[in-house]
Structure 1
Amino acid sequence: MLIKLFTLYVYLQTAFCGCASDMRNGDFVRMRKDYKVKVQRIGRLDSRIMESSGLAHATDSTYWTHPDSNLPAALYLFNLKGALLQTVPLPLPNRDWEDLAQDQEGNLYIGDFGNNANARRDLRVFKLSSETMALQDTMHFGFADQTEFPPLDSNDRHYDLEAFFHRSDSLYLFTKSRARQGITRRYTLPAQNGRYTLLPQEEIRVKSAITAADGAPNGREFALLGYGRLYLFQPEQERVSFAGKRYCLPLGRTGQAEALLYLSATQLLITNEKGKLYLVSFEPRN
């Protein structure tokens, strides 16, 4: 029953909801106001690539993705036609892998931090070598502002996590709220081996639960993905922050979209758990 209700929720979010509710309080402006935007479905992943939940670059024309929880611990290499080029099994636990990040050297970071029930105490990120895919580091962490597992009040369940990206020497994490009044909180995790307790850096109201994130090639902008929405942030300074101009773009019927990747400064690749591939292109109007 819960699965059916969640499926219905995702359908309603993607099929009928635009960005009006995100814009109502002045938190976001409509992206099409300043950009020419095109959202197109470009293909479907090979059926052996199960529940794509994260994206990263392999080469200029091939990409890594991984499955969600309760599926094999592996990375899948594919191209924009959706063809499966390689499967790389990994000797790592997959309790709930939710996103991929990548540093300037090409090393990969797997976010094993899905936390639907807000009850996990073993959140972690695995760092893999870009050359050998061997495990280099593990970052274990918890939230300093979470004291109940899960919080007794469902409106305090802001500690699910499905989105992050790498910039400089840090990983930037964005939570997925399970409360009625949706927010996302940003946390910063050092990208090196250790155990950390993370303080919230800032938060912002969002109508859609956040399922993926990526930083732009210019080292300034970043994007967050939700069900049926894309949020684009242009910080006032060269730092990861919600302060600055913020855009919202309705994505239509993209389903349970879970992964996001900048292909260029003006193009984003999106996958959903059914294996559909979408390309979002945007060019400034002036």
Structure 2
Amino acid sequence: MYRLFIFSSLFLLQSFTAQQTEFFKLKKYQTAVFSDALKENSGLSFFNGKLFTINDGGNASEIFEIDPKSAKIKNSLQTSVKNLDWEAIASDSVSLYVGDFGNNAGTRKDLKIYRFKADSLLRNTDYQPENISYYYPEQTDFTRRIISNDYDAEAMIYLNGKIHIFTKEWASRATSHYIIDPTLKFSQPAQKTESYNTGFVVTDADYYEGKLYLIGYTKSTEVYLMIFEESQPGVFFDKLLKKYYLGSSVSLGQIEGIAADDHGLYISGEEFRHPLGKVKPRLYFVPHEKLR
């Protein structure tokens, strides 16, 4: 986990034209404030119509079902594994996936994704999940470089029987799309399929009806959302539909989660501290029609 302590003017933006980036005031779509139990929430995902989140590294290894309107905790699922640096959550029809692959320093060689079969987890807190281990074959240097390496990650989705990871590239301010096979029982090389120069670090992703949603921020606290259209199965970066500037972390919080359903987008932020104070962790909801 890394907290942004870099403060910039609220009016400082990246250079862009109106054709490239649209302004969208996310602040007015706030629906709730998270309790302190979820002040370090990281990632959102729908599973069987229910909204789930997790806390990131250094917190308890729990999976939380939350109310999509009030952000209140409806259920807390205890797990039997350690939360080394949990950063993302995704799901298929029977399982929840938790990405323990936070890597701000770029030194980790134990990247993993836990697969929790939901029915087993609900019945037994001692249930042992499957451990999906992987590595980035392009990474050959593991020198400690805090928030200046390209092998961090906080975003993943499940699609077409595979896990898709979108990296958080501090040095390049881009993202790379990697694919993981969840059926393999050995540590596997992640398959890099495409990259995109986002201009910000990606902190979560979701897929809904042929569209990929990527959200994140810059070191100078600017928050962005990008929407891509799937051009062929599992390929996204050929067709960017929209890029939105959502505001600053100084007013929105440190945005860490996004999930979509039939109604719209749910966006979450963890507590954000800056020299003038702190922003409470918040949940936002944006109807689909507002982004068309």
Normalised to the residue count of structure 1, the TM-score between the two structures is 0.83
Please tell me the root mean square deviation across aligned C-alpha atoms, in Å. 2.9
Letter in 1 for 2:265: L
Contact 2:104 2:147 in 1 (8 A): no
Alignment pair present for 1:224 and 2:230? no
Q: Spell out structure 1 runs of 4+ moving beyond 3 A.
A: 15-21, 28-32, 35-39, 151-155
Cα distance in structure 1, aligned partners of 2:289 and 2:201: 26
Contact 1:129 1:135 in 2 (8 A): no
Which consecutive residues of structure 2, in runs of 5 or more, have no partner in the other structure? 122-126, 218-222, 272-280
1:44 is matched with which residue? 33
2:259 is matched with which residue? 261
Other structure's SS at 1:29 match: coil
Q: CA deviation at 1:16?
A: 3.6
Normalised to the residue count of structure 2, the TM-score between the two structures is 0.82
- CA 16–279 in structure 1, closer or farther in 2 if over 3 Å, else same: farther
Which consecutive residues of structure 1, in runs of 5 or more, have no partner in the other structure? none
CA deviation string 1:111-165 (max 9, x = no partner): 000000011000000000121224442110000100010377986x210111110
Alignment pair present for 1:214 and 2:220? no
Q: CA deviation at 1:17?
A: 5.3
Cα distance in structure 1, aligned partners of 2:177 and 2:139: 14
Alignment pair present for 1:273 and 2:265? no
Contact 1:215 1:221 in 2 (8 A): yes
Letter in 2 for 1:110: V
Contact 2:105 2:147 in 1 (8 A): no
- CA 235–85 in structure 1, closer or farther in 2 if over 3 Å, else same: closer
Cα distance in structure 2, aligned partners of 1:40 and 1:115: 31
2:154 is matched with which residue? 162
Q: CA deviation at 1:283?
A: 2.0
Other structure's SS at 2:130 match: strand
How many pairs does the alignment contain? 267
Contact 2:26 2:246 in 1 (8 A): no
1:147 is matched with which residue? 140
Cα distance in structure 2, aligned partners of 1:31 and 1:51: 28
Q: CA deviation at 1:211?
A: 0.4
Cα distance in structure 1, aligned partners of 2:129 and 2:81: 12
Cα distance in structure 1, aligned partners of 2:181 and 2:270: 29
